[in-house]
Structures are given as C-alpha cells and as structure tokens.
Structure 1
C-alpha cells in the first residue's frame, strides 16, 4: 500500500456516516478509496445505503486535513498499517464483514501460517484462574500458538505475561490509539510485549479508551482468532461479549468450568450450559476440538528426566512399550478408553516427551 493510497483510506474513515462495512462497499463499487471522492454523486447514490446526507459528507474536504495529521503520526512513530485486503491483515478477520478497514500495529507481529487463539476473562482473576491459565499455556506451548488478548487487568495481562515467559508471540488488541497505553499501570509490560509480538488497534491516535471502544475492540479479538478461551467470568462482562462475537463469527469458543457457587465461574458455566462454549479442562481438549496436528508443531518437545504419570497414562504407556507402536483406535480398544479420552491422554504424554505420533495415526513410546 502506497502512502497516497493510505491517505485516501484514512480520509474515507473520517467521513461521517462511513463505517467499516460502508467503506468496503464504497471501495468495491468505485475501485479505490481515492475514486470514492472523485466519483459523481449520481453514481454513488446508486449504491445501497448511500443517501443524501452521506453524499454531502463525502464532499466534506475537512476529512483530508484529518487524514494528513494522522498520516504524519503514523510516519513519525513507525506505525505499521494493514489494509483489509493486504496479505499481512489477519486472515480470519478478513472473513468478518465488519472487520476494520485498517489495522494499526507496533512491535514485531508475524501471523503468517500461525495458530492464533484469544484468551479473555474477568479483570478480577482468582488463583484458580491463574493456575489453570498457567497449566493450560505450558501444555500448549510446544504448539507455538499466538496468544491474543486485550491488555486489560486480570486474565488479559496474565495471559500476556505467561506468553512472554513461555516465549510465545502475544498481541495486545487495544481500545485506543497507539500513542497511549491503558491502563497506565501496564506501561511496564509494553517493551516485552513488543519484543514478543506487539499491539494492534483500529483506532486513530485521537481516540481515547472510551467505553464503547472496548466492544469494538472485542470483535477484533474474536474475529482474528481460531478460538476464544474464557478463563473466568462473572455472569456479565466484556469476555462474554467477546465469546458471543466469536460464536457469531462461527469460531470455536471454550470456557473453563468452575464451582456453581463461585462468582467468577458463573459466566463460564452459563456458556457451557447454553452450549455456547466447549468445556475446557486441559490443553488436550482444545487440541482435540480444533484438530490441531501435533506432529507439525514448531517447537520440539523435550523429554523430561522425571515424569509423573497418572494411572490412565501409565496404562497407555505400558501398552505401547509392549507393542512398540499402534494406531489410536487399537490403543483405545485394548486400554478400554473412548477415542476422545485416548486422544487427550496421548497428547498429554506427547507433551511430556513420552510418545510420538507417526504417519497413519500411529503412536509409539519413546
């Protein structure tokens, strides 16, 4: 995208009454953002949804002054910009009709051929949520997923911190321009996040973290991810909005169950009860539902020197030691486990470095 093209895209964003859906419609009809401003009103009026007020607003020249100012900010601060048709625009977000026309980012984000999941939840995360999040991400780390969250208090910042600790790429999707950080107390994490990924937003530098921006932010979190994981949530909250958006985008949603008496498990339990989310009890559940191929993982799994197996894992491991290698269905049959259970056991054992998958759905003990 040239600077000239970006200028007109920015100007189009500042036309009152033009949102992301209308902007894409205008560009598709006219051929480019530049052409929108030079197309005759009679032709624009033929586009569904374009009325007299919008035609008047498109002719408002003050949008060019605003575009000039924002372009200067982008250039002076080394902000990266992705147009919704660009190759570096999140692939899944392209599928969302209301996905942002432009995405602004900082850091070293690389989404090419990556597994992307979002982790969201309450701002009042409990020790239960922290412990689950840590175990979940540690077990998932060998698959090298990109961790997306909203850089807010609670579950968000815990997910970002754990991603950094585990050397996973992490992206903070923020509800304001990239000239500021909210909450301010999280400024201490900015450098590490940008080293391990970065920040992303649809908002201009003139945008503050206003309440309505957080809902708009949530659709990016949900739309760019293969799955959304809700760690903990009360019966209301932004994470439930994100989960509902993910469902609307036909994405997988997972929720961590909790005790019915726990305030910050009510939202998750309701998502599961109303069949809006899969039950998430371990990393194996997500890998199984998403059908991720463990043998294609990026990071090698190191066998631990001292490994603790539960009784079910020991049974499977002993069987594979005797047989050498076997297909999953036969392992399940001889060990008397359903397929979904044996799949989870084998994944956990692979992450522990005890078994490895082979072509043809075979597994062998290491």
Structure 2
C-alpha cells in the first residue's frame, strides 16, 4: 500500500505542465495523488486553476508519468534515496509553508529536516582567510545550540560551513542543484559522503540531472526556505549568495550578514545587506539567539509546558486533531492553507471546521480564516 502511494506521489510530479501550486490544488480537492489519476474530466475541470489544457495534460500524460515513477522508485531503492512528498512527515515543515516549495524532495542521509534549529550559512566561492576564519567561528559558536547547518556544497564558504559542522559534530545538509546521485563539484565527494551519516544531501532534481546554471537560483530557495535564518559571510554585490538572501527576505525569514573590510570586494555584499537593512549584523552567536528569540522561546516553552492546551483524542476525530495541531502552531490560518498543512481535503475541511466551531475551540474569521480559541 505504501509503495503504491509512493508511486502516485512521484508520478504526479511527472505530469506535463502541472506545477507545484496546481499539484497541491489537485491533491487538496481530490484527496490524494492516486485519486487525481482516477478523477474523471468533469471533476478535474471543477478544480480552480485546472482548465481544459491542464485536464488534458493529466489524462493524456498519466500513463507516461506512472512509467517514469516506476523507474524513479527503482533508482531510489538502489541508491538508498528517500522520496519525500510534501505531505510526508519527514518533509521540511519550514519549507512546506512556502508557496513555491518543491512537491517532491530526494534525500540521502540520516538528518532530521525538521530539527528544532536550522541555520543556513552561505557566501562567495572565493572565500578569503577572514571568511574562512569567521565561518569556522560561527559554526563552533553554534555547537552548544544544537543547530543544523545548511548550505549548498559549493566551493568557498559553503564547503567551509559543511566541513566545520562535520568537525563540530553538528548535522549538516547540502542542498544540491543536481540529481541526488550527482555530486557537484566532484572534489567535495569525501565531505558529501561523510554528510550522509551526519546530516545528508537534499535536492528537488530527479536522478541524472546535471547542475545547469538555471537550477542554482531554484536550489537557493530551498536553502533559504528550510532555515530559520540565512547567514551571509562573504559575497560580491552581484552574486548567487545575495539572491539567496533576497529569497529569504521575501519569505519573511531572518537574514544576517557578517560585516567585512570595506576595501574587500567580497565584503560588499554583506555590508550592503546591513546598510540597506535587509540583514542584521552578525558579530557573535548571541546576535543570532536574540534575533530569533531562542532564549525567550526556551524560557516560554519551559513555562508553558504545563499550560499548553491538550486536546483529548476521545473528544475529537482524526481530522479535527490534524486541524487543531496546525492551529496550535499558527493560531489562525486561511482555509486553503489549513487544507494542505493539515492534509485534510477541502471537500471535507468545511464540515471539520464546522464541528470544531460547535465544540467552541475554533472561530471563523473574515477572509475564510479560522482562529484557535483556546
């Protein structure tokens, strides 16, 4: 049963012309990827965003998509690659909340992609001795905070961050712009192999994908999206690193930058981010702790453990508990977001929310929003 579910999860990502947002819409309305493939044309056409062209793509492309999925599943088994559909509990929750997040991730390793604290460290490929020293210091300072370090496995700051994390005993994830079995650059293979037992390698690209230039900005959104904060160590003004910082900023994620020598070209990027107030200055780990309120979070968590609302499974059904779990984290959500975060189909969610309103734990708000009352 699980193997069949995986087959359809992979297959839906191979349908022509169906992007991430439409895929979520399809799964939300149909209930599962398998149900999408079984849906008649009339039902598909009733789903918002699915017109005649997309419905035809689904119907005509289903057979080829399933054949491709079978091949991908075989490769994944051979190479010990985990296929993480966006509904999987192992899929990064931070990334899942972003509109353009990948539908399917390919993951090799043992890291917890939902670790409590995750920080990205990025920077130039032409790292200076200052950049190397600072990167190693940042990672060493993160050690007592039990942080997962994410970067892009590239030359320069990226590989320095991965290497420092390995030495510090911290888990580290390399996000790649290639297929899961294609290590780029190849000279970093020895570090990549160590990361498989102390973190892992993550990509949205299917097996055999080469690291073409257009794939790197897409890779950068994963780095930014799955982290609590992106730290820029060194970067030129026009660089992929600043693209990553801009993406993180657009996601309302925190960005920090290490101040640098005003005469150094690779300090222009961080200094610009700080000057333009797109990033907070990083001078020590305490700057990060205070920016992310980790100290307050720990204190509040300890204080509220006994006061946290507990929902008795005997009083709520499975779908109601899923919705309540999401609302416990965000307090309020729009109906569409609730549907895919809680993995309750839109067709069922309305009745679930109505039931929760009758029980006095949820309140309907303007704009199809729902708020937790307890």
Match of 2:70 in 1: 68
Residues in 1 aligned to 2:218 and 2:3: alpha-carbon distance in whole angstroms: 26
Cα offset, 1:159, TM superposition: 0.1
- For residues 1-366 of structure 1, the aligned pairs below 5 Å read 2-59=2-59, 60=61, 61-293=63-295
Using the alignment, how far apart are the partners of 1:97 and 1:237 within structure 2? Answer: 24
Q: Offset at 1:295?
A: 10
Q: Give the superposition deviation at 1:289.
A: 0.9
Per-residue CA distance 1:10-37 (angstroms, 9 max, x = gap): 1111111111111111110111111111
Deviations 1:113-157 (A, max 9, x none): 421000011111111111111122212211110000010111100
What is the rounded CA distance, in whole Å, between the counterparts of 1:140 and 1:258 in structure 2? 20
Contact 1:137-1:283 at 8 Å conserved across structures: no
CA distance in 2, matches of 1:145, 1:210: 30
CA gap of 1:87–1:232, structure 2 versus 1, over 3 A, is same
Structure 1 SS opposite 2:236: coil
Please name the residue that 1:320 is paired with: none
Question: What is the alpha-carbon distance in structure 2 between the residues aligned to residue 20 and residue 149 of structure 1?
Answer: 23
Kept in 2, the 8 Å contact 1:143–1:294? The answer is no
List runs of 5+ in structure 1 lacking aligned partners.
298-366
8 Å CA contact 2:115, 2:148 repeated in 1: no
Cα distance in 1 for partners of 2:190, 2:16 equals: 37
Q: CA deviation at 1:242?
A: 1.0
1:294–1:194: structure 2 CA closer, same or farther, 3 Å change rule? Answer: farther
Contact 1:228 1:243 in 2 (8 A): yes
Which secondary structure state, in structure 2, belongs to the residue aligned with residue 211 of structure 1? coil
Structure 2 CA distance, aligned partners of 1:77 and 1:277? 39
Stretches of structure 2 that go unaligned for 5 or more consecutive residues are 300-374
- Give the secondary-structure state (helix, strand or coil) at the position aligned to 2:83: strand
Which 4+ runs in 1 deviate beyond 4 A? Answer: 294-297
Distance, in Å, in 1 between the alignment partners of 2:238 and 2:267 is: 11
Q: Structure 2 vs 1, CA of residues 288 and 214 (structure 1 numbering), >3 Å: closer, same or farther?
A: same
Correspondence for 2:348: none
2:345 aligned residue: none
Give 3-state SS (helix, strand or coil) of 2:180's partner: coil
Q: How much has 1:258 moved relative to structure 2? A: 1.4
Aligned residues: 297
Residues 306-365 of structure 1 show CA distances to partners (whole Å, capped at 9, x for unaligned) of xxxxxxxxxxxxxxxxxxxxxxxxxxxxxxxxxxxxxxxxxxxxxxxxxxxxxxxxxxxx
SS in 2 for 1:206: coil
Alpha carbons of structure 1 residues 52 and 112: separation in structure 2 relative to 1, 3 Å: closer
Shift of 1:261: 2.1
In structure 2, what is the Cα distance between the partners aligned to 1:278 and 1:286? 9
> For the Cα contact (< 8 Å) 2:182–2:209, is it kept in 1?
no
Q: Is the 8 A contact 2:182 2:208 kept in 1?
A: no
> Deviations along 1:241-263, whole A, 9 cap, x unmatched?
11111111111000111122210
**Contact 1:79 1:104 survives alignment (8 Å):** yes
Secondary structure of the corresponding residue to residue 53 of structure 2: helix
The CA distance in 2 between the partners of 1:86 and 1:10, in whole Å, is 12
2:220 touches 2:244 (CA, 8 Å); kept in 1? yes
